């Protein structure tokens, strides 16, 4: 039941994010007569400090967070997988050099490094994607390297090497398919981390800029009116909570399904 509810939340997030350009929304329309109005039948989530419809801005912010998460996770996954796989397969000074680079990135707190990069690049959704990708790829690289180091000693890989198979063929058909499960689970949890990071950068003014809606900027604008208009903070805050919780629940479920060791133990018990 919980898994289905989490899946429903994520599907709703994705569908609404993709459908926003086709919906009759006016997230930036200012109605001075409705400033700080509470939720009503006319506006289900109320209005903000400029008289803008919070529901419309919430949906627009969902699109922002979805696109940032999609691009950052995709780019980080591809870059990190290629780097980690190449490092483990080549070995030698290539592996040592790439490992040192990964260790340097991991030595800094990820969000602080993202803040520094976003500050250097300037605000904007494109720069947020670049900053979060520059921070996020190292986790995938480290995981891919560990997986390939363990798999390259297996019999089918050694047999392919002995038969003279090309390195690209071995990587595509013998190594990457076996590392995919762990990387997919890591990417699932990465979505939740990116949603929080994007909201944090936007909250600090380093992400999406006004008047474009973002959950982080909505929370920032609402903190000044928490006592008189708490709905300005509750709506985007609960949206972030729902998406992150749903992603983590599905990630846990997916990890259990893909973990062959847990499957083997369950088979032994039965």
What is the torsion angle, in degrees rounded to the nearest 10, for the CA atoms of residue 52, residue 235, residue 9 and residue 134? 80
User: What is the reported pLDDT for 218?
Assistant: 92
In whole angstroms, what is the distance from residue 197 CA to residue 199 CA?
Answer: 5
pTM of this structure: 0.87
Cβ proximity of 64 and 208 under 8 Å:
yes
The single residue listed with the structure tokens 């993709």 is 18
Query: What six digits make up the tokens of 11?
Result: 């599907």
Name the β-bridge partners of 27: none
Beta strands in 112-237 (DSSP E): none
* Helix, strand, coil content of the chain in percent (nearest 5): 80, 0, 20
In whole angstroms, what is the distance from residue 87 CA to residue 95 CA?
Answer: 4
Note every long-range contact of 37-45, with CB atoms under 8 Å and residues 24 or more positions apart, other chains counting.
38/229, 38/231, 39/231, 45/231, 45/235
Quick: pLDDT tens for 153-182: 777 777 776 766 676 677 777 777 888 888
Quick: pLDDT tens for 125-153: 888 999 999 889 999 999 988 888 888 77
In whole angstroms, what is the distance from residue 194 CA to residue 63 CA?
Answer: 14
* CA 29 to the chain's CA centroid: 30
Q: Give the CA distances from residue 184 to residues 131, 191, 243, 265, in Å, rounded to whole numbers and listed in that order.
A: 22, 11, 18, 22
What domains sit in the chain, N to C, each tagged with a CATH number?
A: 2-20+44-265 (1.10.3720.10)
Name the β-bridge partners of 47: 53
Q: Which residues have a Cβ under 8 Å from the Cβ of 169 and sit 6 or more positions away? A: 160
Cβ proximity of 46 and 64 under 8 Å:
no
Counting as low any pLDDT under 70, the low residues of the chain are: 161, 163-165, 167-168, 259-270
């Amino acid at each position: 039941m919980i898994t289905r509810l989490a899946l429903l939340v994520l599907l709703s997030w994705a569908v609404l994010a993709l459908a926003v350009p086709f919906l009759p929304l006016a997230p930036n329309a200012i109605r001075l007569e409705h400033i700080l109005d509470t939720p009503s039948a006319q506006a289900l989530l109320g209005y903000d400090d400029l008289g803008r419809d919070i529901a419309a801005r919430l949906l627009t912010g969902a699109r922002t967070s979805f696109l940032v998460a999609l691009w950052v996770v995709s780019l980080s996954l591809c870059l990190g997988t290629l780097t980690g796989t190449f490092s483990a397969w080549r070995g030698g000074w290539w592996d040592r050099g790439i490992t040192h680079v990964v260790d340097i990135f991991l030595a800094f707190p990820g969000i602080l490094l993202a803040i520094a990069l976003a500050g250097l690049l300037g605000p904007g959704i494109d720069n947020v994607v670049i900053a979060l990708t520059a921070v996020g790829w190292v986790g995938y690289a480290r995981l891919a390297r560990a997986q390939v180091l363990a798999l390259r000693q297996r019999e089918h890989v050694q047999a392919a090497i002995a038969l003279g198979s090309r390195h690209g063929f071995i990587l595509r058909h013998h190594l990457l398919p076996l590392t995919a499960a762990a990387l997919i689970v890591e990417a699932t949890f990465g979505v939740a981390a990116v949603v929080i990071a994007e909201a944090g950068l936007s909250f600090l003014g380093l992400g999406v800029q006004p008047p474009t809606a973002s959950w982080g900027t909505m929370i920032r604008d609402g903190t000044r009116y928490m006592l008189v208009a708490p709905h300005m903070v509750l709506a985007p805050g609960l949206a972030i909570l729902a998406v992150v919780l749903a992603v983590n629940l599905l990630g846990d479920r997916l990890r259990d399904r893909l973990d062959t060791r847990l499957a083997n133990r369950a088979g032994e018990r039965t």
